[in-house]
Structure 1
Amino acid sequence: MLCEICKKNEATFYITKIVNGNKQQISLCENCAKEFDGFNVSGEIGIISPFSLQNILSGLMDYMSETPNISKGLEIKCKNCGMPLAKFKKKGLLGCSECYKNFSSTVNPVIYRVQGKVEHVGKIPKKCGKGIIERKRILNLKEDLQKAIALENYEEAALIRDKIRVMENNEKEG
């Protein structure tokens, strides 16, 4: 299929836009997609459009949140970098790692809705991955220990406790 704008090159981008139930489709080559109004094309990412992740998160924030006190002049800000919650809602980007903690009541429901989980379970860097994996295993064992104690399964709890001690000693030595 040829590009609908230049009618010379092969179309590699297919854009479908639905506004108020009206569906519009356009087929573009890479060069025309770069020039197309409302879309920017990056070589690695593909299309960065008005429907970018940041804009989607921003829209979800407006839809989901009931942010009290902002209208009364009491702006919620990150204690570390000073970024206001309103800026996150507008841009869809956080300023620092502490923003996740400071805005957790607003950010976590959005992340959960988008990803299905709040905790990252993706790839781990090779250089520091062993320590992260071991700490995660220890945390999981501690949760299992609490469950065993709650169920009054003390034999199992003792075994789990011993595993935790061995792993923590290995972590200190390594």
Structure 2
Amino acid sequence: MLCELCRQNEATIHITKIVNGVKKEANICSKCAGNSEEFNLVSDMDIITPFSFQNILGGLMDYVNDTSKSSRIAEIKCENCGASYREFKEKGLLGCSECYKYFSPAILSVVKGVQGNTEHIGKIPKRSGKDLVNKNKILKLKEELQKAIALEEYEKAAEIRDKIRDIDKENQ
């Protein structure tokens, strides 16, 4: 199929453009797609910039960290490398390992908002994961123990305490 604009080159791009309910379709070559004002995708949709990692990260950080906190957070600077939170938000890169310490409140709130948690909860390597599995079991059991004590379920709390001791003995 030939390009509908120049009628010389092979049409390699099919464009469907809907503006105010009016649908326009065109089959054009790549050369005309770049030159055409009518189908200028870069200006119409701004394809190149809106989906960059930095823009998505900045938008998420603005959304999660409300504007009252955002102005205070934007002024934070890493004492080690001098990177500002604003630079991190724009570039999507931290300046050094110390930046994590300085920007952690903002980073953790974004991670928690996106992933639902700030700790990895997923698959664990079979070979080296036994200690980690036991550690996670103990943490869960300790939470259950606190709940049982708060609800004054002392028999259940004693059972949970014994389970924790058994796991601790296994690890030693």
Q: Same fold (TM over 0.5)?
A: yes
Q: Is the 8 A contact 1:148 1:157 kept in 2?
A: yes
Q: Is the 8 A contact 2:78 2:99 kept in 1?
A: yes
The residue number in structure 2 matching 1:84 is 84
Q: Shift of the alpha carbon at 1:127?
A: 4.4
Name the amino acid aligned to 2:112. Answer: Y
Cα shift readout 1:10-63 (whole Å, capped 9, x = no counterpart): 99xx9x9xxxxxx9x9x9xxxxxxxxx8989xxxxxxxx752444311222234
SS at match of 1:119: coil
Q: C-alpha separation between the residues in 1 aligned to 2:127 and 2:93?
A: 27
Q: C-alpha separation between the residues in 1 aligned to 2:144 and 2:130?
A: 21
Q: Shift of the alpha carbon at 1:96?
A: 6.3
Unpaired segments ≥5 residues, structure 2: 1-8, 18-22, 28-41
Q: C-alpha separation between the residues in 2 aligned to 1:145 and 1:112?
A: 25
Give RMSD over aligned pairs. 4.5
Q: What TM-score does the superposition give when structure 2 sets the normalisation length?
A: 0.58
The residue number in structure 2 matching 1:143 is 143
Tell me: CA distance 1:8–1:89, structure 2 relative to 1, closer, same or farther (3 Å). Answer: same
Tell me: CA distance 1:164–1:70, structure 2 relative to 1, closer, same or farther (3 Å). Answer: closer
Q: Shift of the alpha carbon at 1:165?
A: 1.4
Cα shift readout 1:67-107 (whole Å, capped 9, x = no counterpart): 34467xxx424577764322321223445676555433322
* Larger gyration radius, structure 1 or structure 2: 2
Q: C-alpha separation between the residues in 1 aligned to 2:79 and 2:130?
A: 31
The residue number in structure 2 matching 1:161 is 161
Q: C-alpha separation between the residues in 1 aligned to 2:124 and 2:151?
A: 33
Aligned-residue identity in percent? 53
The residue number in structure 1 matching 2:124 is 124
Q: C-alpha separation between the residues in 2 aligned to 1:160 and 1:52?
A: 49
The residue number in structure 2 matching 1:108 is 108
